[in-house]
Chain A
Amino acid sequence: MTDTTDPTDGDAERERVSVPSKVELPRLLDFYELQTEDQTQIHEFYDNLRDGRLTTTQCCDCDEIHFPPRIVCPECTGDDLEYVDLPDEGELFAFSEVRDGLPLGLSEHDVPYVVAVVDLGPVRLSGWIDNAAYSDLEIGDAVSLKIVEIDGPTDEERVFYRFEPADGDAK
């Protein structure tokens, strides 16, 4: 290619380069985890959840029950673990109603919503509380498990757990 124009001449045609018009969302920024056997070693947790059961791992060596589910026992480092059922009902141990400062993956139409630490007895876990408002709740209120199907952003069929006030405590 021969171009005799001065390369510093502002009127000269410059070569154009481009960047992708759309950047794929990194896996890390997907709100939910991937859930199948080839994607996670705790797929059994999600398989059980899909079947309507909230479960977690218990160590066959030291009997410790974990949450979140583990592949190695943090108490004794044993790897002989089995999935056990968790209760469908628990109590609010701490709670808040989120209105701002949302994590990636949630949008303004999701707020306000209640988040809590739910005491299930054997374990405590963080949970989204549906059908509830901060001003109606008290620590110790009973909540029960509900399982939701997740739409998007991929074709993956995914599920997750939430809670809602148990009968009698609903507003």
Chain B
Amino acid sequence: MRDAYLVGAGQSDYGAFPEESYRSLFRTAFEAATESVPNGIDGEEIDEAFVGHLGVGGRQLGLSGPAVTEHVGLGGVPCTRVENACAASGFAVRQAVQAVKSGMADVVLAGGFEVMSDTSSDATKYWLGVSGETEWERLSGTTFSGVYAQMASVHMERYGTTREQLSRVAVKNHANGAKNPHAQLGFECSLEDAESAPVVADPLNLYHCCPTSDGAACALIVSEDVVEKYTSDPIRIAGVGAGSDNVGLFQRDTYTGVPASQRAGEQAYEMAGVEPDDLDFAEVHDCFAIAELLAYEDLGFCERGEAGDLIESGETELGGGLPVNTSGGLKSKGHPIGATGAGQIVEAFKQLSGKAGDRQVENPTRGLTHNVGGSGGAAVVHVFEKVQEVSA
């Protein structure tokens, strides 16, 4: 199969923007992505588009994919909406890679958007529950934060993981997000702030939970046959992995890991022919602080049960051996559900292009992105690699 390359990626600011619509946010991200392509790209060169999102505000719209591609002048190209809750646009990128690898398309747009601030509070409440298991978990009064809180309760009991270690995830990600001009909560927080915040669902407090956000992100994926037209510094999509699982936590065998993430990671490493040690940075799905710690273990950054020690060691901070969530992560950068997966890839593109500003990792050649839907009903992992020469 042909190789696929990431030649551009961009995003809107993440935050609450009552004056913006899903279309205008997507346009901002699309323009940022096309402008980031080193040798430039024309919209007419795009063969296909995949767009991820969960809702449109509190509504569900049919044909919401073509509604945004038409708005950026791509009327006519095949466009498909991809829905996998918080992993929607991570899976949109995977679809783009498949389209390129299969030979059906040479230039593909993959992106996502979400508008979460314009919904009435009732619609928001229902709609956020949709990312969990909306039937039997909801009937027991379980909230989305409550699901991750239960996973945290088991991890803490089994491995001695502490609330302080959970808070350190927030401190690290806010320190990174303070260096990202697109971040929604782009301010630093102290360990004391992150430990004393009000409880949302025991043992998780407000600083262990990401915000709700408006925003959009886009990536441009091209085939090895055309990549040289767009860049002389190609970034190869070396590995892709994905998995799914029971949507409800109560139906899973393990609560101290996310099996879909594990499967996605193993597949991606195998396809890329690399190991966790070969990574220079990673963007992982930290919707809740415990989710980042579980990702460390599911993706092999440390042994099972040792994620608390890993965050405490400083290894995953900027300047550490494996910086994680240099963008600020979902916690500080924000979590516009459908945009999040593509937004992680924007950070990977910036890091590998040397354009991450104050949060730049020194000379990275390889990075990973990890995007989870719900509490682990779906997960997708990508490995990106800077290459010297295209193997056409």
Contact = CB atoms under 8 A, between A and B. Distances in A.
A125 B252 CA distance: 10
Contacts of A83: none
Given A115-B140, A115-B146, A128-B141, A101 B201 contact: yes
Interface in B197-238: 198-204, 206, 209
B150 A96 contact: yes
Chain B contact patch, size range = 35 or more
Contacts of A101: 128, 143-146, 200-201, 209
B202 A134 contact: yes
Interface in B92-120: none
Interface string B335-359: 0000000000000000000000000
A101 B146 CA distance: 9
Interface residues of A, number: 35
A115 B148 CA distance: 12
B248 interface: yes
Contacts of A134: 202-203
Interface stretch (A1-9, A12-20, A57-65, A102-110): A102-110
Contact of A96 (B136, B202, B206): B202
B157 interface: yes
B263 interface: no
A36 interface: no
B154 A113 contact: no
A160 B157 CA distance: 30
Contact of B143 (A29, A93, A102, A160): A102
B135 to A, nearest CB: 7
Nearest to B246: A74
Nearest to B252: A124
A94 B154 contact: yes
A116 to B, nearest CB: 7
Contacts of B68: none
Contacts, number: 112
A97 B122 contact: no
B304 interface: no
Contacts of A33: 135, 139
Specify the main secondary structure of chain B where it touches its partner. Answer: helix
A115 B198 contact: no
A124 B200 contact: no
A25 to B, nearest CB: 9
B144 A106 contact: no
Nearest to B138: A103
A84 interface: no
A19 B139 CA distance: 33
Interface string A128-142: 100000100011000
Contacts of A87: none
B139 A32 contact: yes
B141 A115 contact: yes
A68 B128 contact: no
Contacts of A117: 150, 249-250, 255
A101 B205 CA distance: 11
A164 to B, nearest CB: 13
A98 B150 contact: no
15 contacts: A29-B122, A29-B126, A33-B135, A94-B150, A98-B142, A99-B202, A115-B150, A124-B250, A125-B250, A126-B137, A126-B142, A128-B140, A134-B203, A139-B154, A160-B139
**9 closest A-B pairs by CB:** A96-B149, A94-B150, A126-B140, A97-B202, A104-B126, A104-B125, A134-B202, A103-B129, A115-B142
Interface of B: 122, 125-126, 128-129, 133, 135-146, 149-154, 157, 198-204, 206, 209, 248-251, 255
Given A125-B250, A139-B157, 5 more contacts: A96-B202, A100-B200, A100-B201, A101-B146, A115-B146
